[in-house]
Amino acid sequence: MASLHDVARLAGVSKSTVSRVMNDEYGVKEATKVKVRRAVEQCGYVVNQVAKDLKSNKTNLIGIIVPRVTSNAVSQGVDGLSRVFEESGKQVLLANSCQQAGKELQYLELFNQKRVEGIVMFATHIDDELVKAIKRSGAPVVLIGQDGSSHNIPSVIHDDYRVGYCAAEQLHQAGCRNVGFLGVQSDDIAVDQMRFEGFCKALNYLGLPVPAFHTQGQFSIDSGREEMAQLLRDNNKPDGVFCATDRIAIGAIQAIAAAGLAPGKDIKVIGVGNDEMASVVSPGLSTFDYAFEPAGSNAAKMLLEIIEQGRSQVAKLVLGFDWVQRKSC
Amino acid sequence: MASLHDVARLAGVSKSTVSRVMNDEYGVKEATKVKVRRAVEQCGYVVNQVAKDLKSNKTNLIGIIVPRVTSNAVSQGVDGLSRVFEESGKQVLLANSCQQAGKELQYLELFNQKRVEGIVMFATHIDDELVKAIKRSGAPVVLIGQDGSSHNIPSVIHDDYRVGYCAAEQLHQAGCRNVGFLGVQSDDIAVDQMRFEGFCKALNYLGLPVPAFHTQGQFSIDSGREEMAQLLRDNNKPDGVFCATDRIAIGAIQAIAAAGLAPGKDIKVIGVGNDEMASVVSPGLSTFDYAFEPAGSNAAKMLLEIIEQGRSQVAKLVLGFDWVQRKSC
DNA sequence: TTGAAAGCGGTACCAA
DNA sequence: TTGGTACCGCTTTCAA
């Protein structure tokens, strides 16, 4: 591939002159410009950004780490992120950890070697190792989905505690008196712990008994269906179920219907996220609309501020949600 | 940020020696290694991959261009791509054109400046400008979703013609005699043209009349619903509808139900893709299961082959599909 | 208006 | 076993 040097030789000028022409710098004779441009055309010269990056010590690169792309939260978040970054002329390096723990740490390291200017991480959990790796990172890190602000890591999260609280209120208002929670693995603070805590708090406040159950499944329809079916088999018959995600809730609805009961009548169901599927399932799933795309764009803005100003005004951004009432509750 | 030079000074050795230690090269005294490692630790040295890339003239970078991430085809495809690339030690630069035509061309150029080793592009259409830009690209390009093989661009596509053909057969077999197609904009060869052509071909072969309609909407539930509602209002009452995508089909089902008709009985509906929503909607949507994730992983493998061998054995990979029968047809 | 040369942070060859 | 040096492709003084 042709370099500045090749172009210079072809045009019969020096590298410096070619560089000046390429960068539209002031002070090059028109005739020289023409010669250079012709030479560029002739050998199909494309500027080598790697060399420029090295020289300028600036890459315009942002690293993004995701557990997978096929999830509403992630894909909408990435759309939000990439829009903002590309508006500011940043390019995006994407790393997919495929949910393998430890991979994130490797990518953090790789990104630093590539001299990214900042990193956005969709976190599924936080542990000491991860916190240490983030502290060690030369490039600033912003977290999406889990709260790292107590470790002084800027984070964009959803109001998971309050969503749990509201879910309990909605179930109570719908007449439920015996409710439970279909959660996920307990090291997911945001999706399992916070939502459950808020849920329990509200129940307590409303004078309802503690949750009849708190299962720990996967993030899938199948998992929700199995968990719910198992509960019904165990004759643990609630009149309301709060599910950590919409997918789980849809599985629950299927299991309830399969057991000959009426979801939304015999057993109320509430999810979280407002996945497009929630509007399509029958009965329509009552859920909380989460701002996934804004989570991405806000995280991007925070990161840009940190990169440009050295620090961010906001240490933690908590996004609200909206109650979306349908037939399931 | 510390460089080799800093480490060398701190350890009291030369840059060459530090480089040797960092790369585990043979022939460094143990004591020296220890000194160097301590110095590395002390100043938190992280290798500068930009400099390495420049020197070695190799970036291990792959560019990916998508119209958006929030789509089943894209998000699953990206998951497939990134898995394969990361197994081969490649990193992924992601560019989101946000469906703005022309953006793809810019990214093609940017990627070449960044010296990516190859590019995967999720194409929504193909025109001369795009073909020219791809030809001009120094890095090899593989297309996903549209057939560029007639321009000698390696492509991974789905069997869109045959899916249209099969859809007609299924509708015919279900007893339909007056059918139509809910498509998308006509410059989308794969999703609109090919599927429609196959559809027409089969109708002709089966001795059915030509399609009663061929609308051109968007890739969304809302669009499908509106198109279908309009058709019903126009008293254009078919007994079967083939939809270019599952989302459109779900919209159609909603419109049919809203008109007081029974989707799957009065009017059969078929989609394409096997979106998770298809299993959730009521009645269940009969559709064709498309291999989106394999599209990504196969495109990645093709690109790697081109990068490593200089050329690919396969010029075009056509992925099959499976009929998924549910209640809507 | 143009060119020569140094330097960004590495690697690799040759000499010591 | 180690150090000196040239070079990857570009930018940026400084001098001509």
- Provide the pLDDT for residue A235: 77
Establish if A83 touches chain B: CB-CB under 8 angstroms.
yes
Read off the pLDDT band of B69 (50, 70, 90).
Answer: very high
Which of A 42-61 have CB under 7 A of nucleic chain C? 51, 54-55, 57
Chain B contacts in chain A segment 141-180 (CB below 8 A): none
pLDDT tens profile A189-219: 999 999 999 999 999 999 999 999 999 999 9
Q: Whose C1' is closest to the CA of A7: which nucleotide?
A: D9
Our measurement of CA B49 to C1' D3, in angstroms, reads 24
**Contacts with B47 from chain A: Cβ below 8 Å:** 113
Complete DSSP assignment for A259-288: TT--BTTTBEEE-SB--GGGGTSSSPPBEE
Nearest beta carbon to residue B49 from set A95, A115, A279: A115
Mean pLDDT of the B275-296 span: 97
B160-290: which CATH topology? Answer: Rossmann fold (3.40.50)
Mean pLDDT of the A123-134 span: 95
Residue A297 has pLDDT above 90, yes or no: yes
Q: Give Cβ neighbours of residue B9 (< 8 Å, ≥ 6 apart).
A: none
- Quote the CA–CA distance of A190 and A145 in Å, as a whole number: 7
Q: Is the CB of A9 under 7 A from strand D?
A: no
Q: How far, CA to CA in Å, does A55 sit from each of A52, B82, B110?
A: 5, 30, 18
- Provide the pLDDT for residue B144: 98
Q: How far, CA to CA in Å, does B14 sit from each of B5, B30, B80?
A: 8, 16, 44
Taking the C1' atom of D7, which residue's CA lies nearest? B55
- Provide the pLDDT for residue A114: 98
Establish if A222 touches chain B: CB-CB under 8 angstroms.
no
Residue B181 has pLDDT above 80, yes or no: yes
- Provide the pLDDT for residue A90: 98
Residue B291 has pLDDT above 90, yes or no: yes
Residue B311 has pLDDT above 90, yes or no: no
A4-47: which CATH topology? Answer: 434 Repressor (Amino-terminal Domain) (1.10.260)
- Quote the CA–CA distance of A115 and A103 in Å, as a whole number: 18
Chain C positions with an atom below 7 A of a protein C-beta are: 1-5, 7-13
Chain A contacts in chain B segment 92-151 (CB below 8 A): 92-96, 98, 109-110, 112-115, 136, 138
pLDDT tens profile B82-106: 999 999 999 999 999 988 888 999 9
Is B86 close to A96, i.e. CB distance below 8 A? yes
Our measurement of CA A90 to C1' C1, in angstroms, reads 35
- Please, what sign has the CA dihedral across residues B115, A104, B80, A85? negative
Closest chain B residue to the Cα of A46, Cα to Cα: B113
Token pair recorded at residue A75: 């894909």
Share of chain A above pLDDT 70, in %: 100
Average pLDDT, chain B: 96
Mean pLDDT of the A280-308 span: 97
Size of interface A-B (CB pairs under 8 A): 137
Mean pLDDT of the A23-42 span: 95
DSSP category for residue B304 = H
Chain A contacts in chain B segment 183-202 (CB below 8 A): none
Q: Is the CB of B36 under 7 A from strand C?
A: no
Nearest beta carbon to residue B69 from set A75, A109, A277: A75
Residue A10 has pLDDT above 90, yes or no: yes
Q: Where in chain A is the domain with CATH 1.10.260.40?
A: 4-47
Taking the C1' atom of C2, which residue's CA lies nearest? A17
Our measurement of CA B308 to C1' D3, in angstroms, reads 36
- Provide the pLDDT for residue B99: 85
How many Cα atoms occupy the beta-carbon half-sphere of B40 within 13 Å?
Answer: 17
Q: Where in chain A is the domain with CATH 3.40.50.2300?
A: 57-158+292-319, 160-290
Peptide bond just before A283 cis, omega within 30 deg: yes
Read off the pLDDT band of B189 (50, 70, 90).
Answer: very high
Q: Are A273 and A290 in contact (CB under 8 A)?
A: yes
Q: Give Cβ neighbours of residue B173 (< 8 Å, ≥ 6 apart).
A: none
Share of chain B above pLDDT 90, in %: 95
Establish if A34 touches chain B: CB-CB under 8 angstroms.
no
pLDDT tens profile B238-254: 999 999 999 999 999 99
Complete DSSP assignment for A82-138: HHHHHHTT-EEEEEE-TT-TTHHHHHHHHHHHTT-SEEEEE-S---HHHHHHHHH-S
Establish if B46 touches chain A: CB-CB under 8 angstroms.
yes
Complete DSSP assignment for A163-215: HHHHHHHHHHHTT--SEEEEEE-TT-IIIIIIHHHHHHHHHHHHTPPPPS-EE
Q: Are B212 and B187 in contact (CB under 8 A)?
A: no
Residue A236 has pLDDT above 80, yes or no: no
Read off the pLDDT band of A72 (50, 70, 90).
Answer: very high
- Provide the pLDDT for residue B124: 94
Average pLDDT, chain A: 96
B57-158+292-319: which CATH topology? Answer: Rossmann fold (3.40.50)
Mutate to test the interface with B, among A114, A225, A327 (most CBs of B within 10 A): A114
Residue B40 has pLDDT above 80, yes or no: yes
Q: Are A246 and A285 in contact (CB under 8 A)?
A: yes
- Provide the pLDDT for residue B236: 75
What's the gap in Å between the CA of A41 and the closest CA on chain B? 12
pLDDT tens profile B116-147: 999 999 999 999 999 999 999 999 999 999 99
Is A96 close to B110, i.e. CB distance below 8 A? no
Establish if B70 touches chain A: CB-CB under 8 angstroms.
yes
Residues B78, B144, B137: CA angle, nearest 5 degrees:
100
- Quote the CA–CA distance of A301 and B217 in Å, as a whole number: 34
- Provide the pLDDT for residue B313: 87
Burial of B152 per CB tally in 10 Å (0-12, 13-18, 19+): exposed
Is A276 close to B221, i.e. CB distance below 8 A? yes
DSSP category for residue B286 = B
